[in-house]
Amino acid sequence: MAAGFILKRRLGAGQFGEVWLAFDSALAIDRAVKLVPPSKVQSEERFFEEAQVLKSVTHDNIVCVEDAGRMEDGRLYIAMEYLPKGSVEDEARGAPMAMTRAMRLTCDALRALERVHELGVLHRDIKAANILVGNCLEGKLSDFGLATRTEAEGVASPQGYLYQAAPEIVRGDAASQQTDVYAAGVTLYRLVNGDDHLPSLGTAAAYASAISDGEFPDRKRYRLYVPRSLKLVINKAMHPDPTRRYLSAKAFRNALGQVRIKCDWHEEPTATGTRWIGACEGLTLMVEMTLALQGRVNVSTSKRRQGRTWRNVSEGSRNGMRMAEGRRFAARILSKCASEGRLASGPAQSPGRVRQRSAQASPRPSRPEGRRMSHS
């Protein structure tokens, strides 16, 4: 069958090989073919174990393997179903993804992990780049190159993608189901917040130290609109202590299924601050936080029905706040609407304490909160 592949274009490349879009002339169908030169393979048996694992864990949320073997030029290959929509990483492009979308894709990956773990296999490389998007927009777990069968105790040797590796992996301890749960939690954190919420620490040693200390990712730093219910679920999945995480992928998925998101916010920078647009209570909502004089901020909330003009929502608007106060005020409005489907503002404030300031903002744009982290 190897001779029947016509390579069309390269889809991606990694440390050990490449993935190509190939035409299977025997069956007249496109395939995604992973090609690895013999020089990059320490053991052919270990290489084909990836194909064997994938074939043994057939599941709707796992990429289907069709064939494996050796090409005429000597390269080893694994032929899989071709999914033209690419990966979740391709879909997100480092930006925040709608919470409902991110949660659905994570639940799909967790369903796949449930099946993998049932068969005594650890994936050890959960990340957005290894979750592909199916034809029905479902998530499909892929790339089992680091997957391995567990020992009798349910553990395996430590492996993983550094930026999503659990603290115990960084310290050289054994991998377990909880390390896959941790990586899935970090994946969801990154999808919800975007990569610019992850600080650039420079060296691999700096990342390893921060991960080991439970300081990366920052469990307190989320987009303002992310509700507490979702934060709690993600943070438990990412707990530095594996015994305090969800004990299984199923437990993580069930907890995520209890989180209700009734408003997905789209965040965008403006010349003077930040704007959020969402749909809630049959209305289109807009919340803006803008810089004012003397380093203060104004928060305004507006709503409209389709075809109508924007109307100010007084209880969601306040001027002349300090930056920290303004962020808290905006967060209460955004997160309440996200979780409960209704507007909410902060505690009542007497008119005498609200100092109206000029709405004219400083032309200086807000500083970015971080740099996008490169992927391996």
Three-state SS letters, 156-167: ECCCCCHHHCCH
Buried b (16+ CB within 10 A) or exposed e, 329-356: bbbbbbbbbbbeeebebbeeeeeeeeee
Inter-residue contact 237 to 180 (CB < 8 Å):
no
Three-state SS letters, 68-90: EEECCCCCEEEEEECCCCCEHHH
Listed in sequence order, the residues at least 6 apart from 28 whose beta carbon sits closer than 8 Å to its beta carbon are: none
Give me the sheet containing 18-24, strands edge to edge.
5-13, 18-24, 29-36, 76-81, 65-70
**Bridge partners, residue 333, by sequence:** none
125 is catalytic: yes
Closest CA to 140 of 31, 51, 83, 62: 62
Closest CA to 372 of 128, 123, 167, 85: 128
Q: Rounded to whole angstroms, how far apart are CA atoms 293 and 358?
A: 7
Number of helices (H) and strands (E) in the chain: give both, helices first. Answer: 9, 15
Q: Rounded to whole angstroms, how far apart are CA atoms 309 and 303?
A: 8
Q: Rounded to whole angstroms, how far apart are CA atoms 249 and 182?
A: 10
Pull the structure tokens for residue 118: 């049932």
Inter-residue contact 51 to 78 (CB < 8 Å):
yes
Query: From the candidates 24, 67, 108, 125, which is the catalytic residue?
Result: 125
Please give the positions annotated as active site: 125
